[in-house]
Amino acid sequence: MSDSQSDTDYFQEIVAEIETEARNRAATGEYPRALLRSLEEEFRRWIPDASLENGVEDTIRGIEAASYVDASVPLESRSSVGSFVKWVVRRLTYFYHRHMAQQVTALGIHVTRPLRLLDAMLKNIDRRVSAIEDQLDVGAAARSELIAGIANTCVPEEFKEILLEHLTDAPGRVVFGDLFQPELLRFLSRQSVDIYGVSPTGDTIEAVDVRQEQLLDHLSHLESDVLGGFVLCGVTDRGSLNEQLRVLRLLLLRCKPGAPVAVIVAHPESLSSRFGPVATDLLHGRPLHPETWCYLLSREHASDLTVTEASDSTCSLITAKLQ
Amino acid sequence: MTSVHQLVPTISPRDAVGNHTLALREILRSSGFESEIFSMFRHSDLMADTHYVDDLPGDADAVIYQFSIGSPVADRWARHPAVKIANYHNITPASLVGKWDGLLAAEVQLGRDQMARYAKICDHAICDSDFNKFELDVLGYRSTETIPVLFDPLLAAPNQGVLTRLKRARRGTQVLFVGRVAPNKAHHDLVAAVKTLRETCDDDAHLHFVGTDGPPGYRSALDTIINHAGMRDHVTFHGSVPPEQLVSHYLAADVFCCLSDHEGFCVPVIESMNHGLPVVAFSCTAVAETVGSGGLLLADKSPLVVASALHRVSQDASLANRLRDAGHRRAKCFDRSVVEQQFRSQISSRLLESL
């Protein structure tokens, strides 16, 4: 076996060991997941959004090509004398023409640069507007009517005690959102769980802290590592996939290591039977399966993952602890 | 005398393509050709030694175009009646730079357009790596081959002042990356990896960046990320440095780490190997074939994996020694004399035949 082959094999073994070690240390919580989540969020936040596509590209390319000024004046003439005279004049003035040509060429290049930038900006705006147009719901009115007519999934009584036990030793304030069942928040609060709710509809309960705003907006304004845990529901039933994943990402970022977390999610099948085919088809989002939430949380190396199904099989409670 | 001239959009010293172009000119001249370099933007140090692009003789026998960015100079090459040879150093995809620098994105996009447009008129293409060759083959270039880039082995003696200062300041693992501060070089991934290394294994680890600034937007975002990650005191940007100082950095560091998302060759990897610095790199584009059997190639550049690899190399003396030995062996494959010989035989066998 050659030295290089032997080196390759040896280094591949080492890399495999390193990858296994990294996985094991991550699984045992030795690596700070909160730190990595925070880094990912920061990098995502600071990467600007712009790109370039085809458009007036050809025009700019034409300007660039035309900005090339050839200092060598053609010598062709109908007579050899004329050609000779042109040659002499060119020889005598070449230094001057070349100097000018270089400057004009440089100017052309500098002119096309901002044009390219403008082109890129326009395309970017165009793309963003297109994306927003896609998001602007042409059936928004119909969808609003549907949502207004659909009751939230009722959290079963049996989940109360599980949640209480799970949240009791939370290392800080627990957020409950989207809050749609004030009784559950009141129950947990009275049992000395340091908890507050976020409700887009503004449901308030006396002596219980409820913020009236969208959960995403609320989480966006929080600092990292300030929450002691979360109970996530509501948005899990009807938020778009992107909304659900974004909320989860922000919650993970805002929670301290060791925070207990809980997700209450309706069963997709039971929800569609309850909503009927029209609402199921037209609603933006659909509930993710409990297995999917488990997968998403396990990807973040959450531990003690438990799934509890409601006795009437309408929804599930997923609990876990963050690392 | 047969003339084989080179066209290059920009020529400057301390630049991989610039150095390669100057070295190739010497090979062409010593092989008996008349050879000059013609460029649109010339560094002041090279004004007397190179020519403005308009001065390219119309009766040149062959013109080699150094292809690494979009430029109107490529159109000049394409229109020239001589035998046309492309020396392809790869062009960063616009998708990797577009988010950071619209102007640069426009230039690289133009380069990619030109690369595709000139497939049919190019008589022969020389590529730095098989990765680059594959790109041209896919575009339909009829004759391609791989010859590595020509670069100086960096034999300069280290700058003792810089070396002493670096050694005096060192505490934990010293991680080095050399390259332009550009998004495709993924400096931000290195910051994340070293941040993780500091948090988990080595709270004195330090990251050194050597290289010129690229898109201002990227550098600015990188500074923000570094501040926010609490790494301001643990990351040093040294900027572009002369060869003696660069050698000092190679000698003072513990490991060279490259997490680039796109490279057409990556000269600093070989320079590190030449100076006995263990190499850890993310295996992508041409990096894998440049590193070859001379370093640790990671398929995953998540901060956890990279931090583990850096820690392992810095703690495992036998692994570091083996990496040094393997690196030296690998670097020999790119030795200037070996690559020069490849260019000479290429010139004698193919170029002379086609003229």
Same domain, A244 and A109: no
Residues A10 and B321: beta-carbon distance below 8 Å = no
Contact residues, chain B, for A223 at CB < 8 Å: none
- Whether residue A7 is contained in a domain is answered as no
Q: Do B292 and A61 touch (CB under 8 A)?
A: no
Contact residues, chain A, for B72 at CB < 8 Å: 64-65, 67-68, 109
- Whether residue A49 is contained in a domain is answered as no
Same domain, B272 and B315: yes
Same domain, A128 and A154: no
Q: Do B106 and A5 touch (CB under 8 A)?
A: no
Low-confidence ranges of chain A (pLDDT < 70): 1-2, 31-33, 42-63, 65-67, 130-131, 133-151, 202-207, 284-285
In DSSP notation, B256-290 reads EEE--S--SS-HHHHHHHHTT--EEEE--TTHHHH
Confidence class for position B20, pLDDT limits 50, 70, 90? very high
Same domain, B187 and B257: yes
Same domain, B340 and B282: no
Listed in sequence order, the residues at least 6 apart from B270 whose beta carbon sits closer than 8 Å to its beta carbon are B151, B290, B330, B331, B334
Answer yes or no: is pLDDT of B351 > 90. Answer: no
pLDDT at residue number A236: 85
pLDDT at residue number A145: 65
- Whether residue A105 is contained in a domain is answered as yes
Same domain, A160 and A101: no
The least confident of A101-105, B241-245, B255-259 is A101-105
pLDDT top residue among A113 and B28? B28
Task: For residue B112, give both structure tokens.
Answer: 């990619």
Same domain, A127 and A204: no
B217-225 average pLDDT score = 85
Answer yes or no: is pLDDT of B37 > 50. Answer: yes
Same domain, A153 and A126: no
Q: Do B298 and A15 touch (CB under 8 A)?
A: yes
Strands A260-266, A315-321: pairing kind: antiparallel
Task: For residue A248, give both structure tokens.
Answer: 């989860």
- Whether residue A127 is contained in a domain is answered as yes
Same domain, A171 and A115: no
Contact residues, chain B, for A18 at CB < 8 Å: 296, 298, 305, 308-309, 312
Same domain, B201 and B348: no
pLDDT at residue number B199: 87
Of A162, A225, A172, nearest to A195 by C-alpha is A172
Which burial class, exposed, middle or buried, applies to B351 when counting CB atoms under 10 A from its CB (0-12, 13-18, 19+)? buried
Give the closest of B54, B100, B319 to A14, CB-based. B319
pLDDT top residue among A180 and B174? B174
CA angle at residue B176 from B170 to B181, to 5 degrees?
A: 130
Calculate what percentage of chain B has a pLDDT beyond 90: 72
- N residues, chain A: 323
Same domain, B138 and B173: no
Q: Which of residues 1-30 of A touch B (CB under 8 A)?
A: 3-5, 7-8, 10-11, 14-15, 17-19, 21-22, 25-26, 30
Answer yes or no: is pLDDT of B337 > 50. Answer: yes
Answer yes or no: is pLDDT of B19 > 60. Answer: yes
Same domain, B175 and B320: yes
- Give how far B267 is from chain A: nearest CA, Å: 20
At which of A101, A132, A163 does a domain end? A132
- Whether residue A173 is contained in a domain is answered as yes
Same domain, A117 and A173: no
- Give how far B330 is from chain A: nearest CA, Å: 8
pLDDT at residue number A134: 56
Same domain, B14 and B33: yes
Same domain, A100 and A63: yes
Contact residues, chain A, for B303 at CB < 8 Å: 36, 39
B333-337 average pLDDT score = 91
Interface test with B, best of A3, A7, A61, A127 (most B CBs within 10 A): A7
What is the domain-level CATH number for residue A233? 3.40.50.150
What is the domain-level CATH number for residue B222? 3.40.50.2000
Give the closest of A36, A65, A98 to B303, CB-based. A36
Same domain, B126 and B137: yes
Q: Which of residues 59-118 of A touch B (CB under 8 A)?
A: 60-61, 64-65, 67-68, 70-72, 98, 101-102, 105, 109, 113, 116-117
Answer yes or no: is pLDDT of B160 > 60. Answer: yes
- Give how far A243 is from chain B: nearest CA, Å: 23
Integer Cα distance of A44 and A38 in angstroms? 10
Number of domains chain A is built from: 2
Task: For residue B95, give both structure tokens.
Answer: 């998708």
Contact residues, chain B, for A47 at CB < 8 Å: 99, 221
Residues B68 and B90: beta-carbon distance below 8 Å = yes
Number of domains chain B is built from: 2
Same domain, A91 and A168: no
B147-172 average pLDDT score = 88
At which of A108, A132, A156 does a domain end? A132
B134-138 average pLDDT score = 93
Contact residues, chain A, for B323 at CB < 8 Å: 11
Contact residues, chain A, for B192 at CB < 8 Å: 36, 39, 43
Contact residues, chain A, for B279 at CB < 8 Å: none
Contact residues, chain B, for A60 at CB < 8 Å: 106
Same domain, B58 and B203: no
Query: A86-100, A274-288, B78-92, B96-110 — which one is most confidently predicted on average?
Result: B78-92
Same domain, A170 and A286: yes
Same domain, A159 and A127: no
Residues B159 and B244: beta-carbon distance below 8 Å = yes
Same domain, A100 and A164: no
- In terms of CA atoms, which chain B residue is nearest residue A22? B305
Give the closest of B98, B100, B304 to A26, CB-based. B304
B263-292 average pLDDT score = 95
- Residues spanned by the domain of A216: 148-321
Mean pLDDT, rounded, of chain B: 91
Same domain, B167 and B280: yes
- Whether residue A228 is contained in a domain is answered as yes
DSSP state of A231: E
pLDDT at residue number B136: 95
ipTM summary value = 0.86
The least confident of A40-54, B7-21, B23-37, B214-228 is A40-54
Task: For residue A309, give both structure tokens.
Answer: 């199904």
pLDDT at residue number A275: 73
pLDDT at residue number A53: 42
Q: Do A35 and B329 touch (CB under 8 A)?
A: no
Q: Which residues of A74-86 are buried (b: 16+ CB within 10 A; e: fewer)?
A: eeeeeeeeeeeee
- Residues spanned by the domain of B301: 160-332
Q: Which of residues 277-316 of A touch B (CB under 8 A)?
A: none
Same domain, B240 and B273: yes
Query: A173-182, A229-238, B33-42, B208-217 — which one is most confidently predicted on average?
Result: B33-42
Q: Do A68 and B110 touch (CB under 8 A)?
A: no
pLDDT top residue among A208 and B17? B17
Same domain, B63 and B145: yes
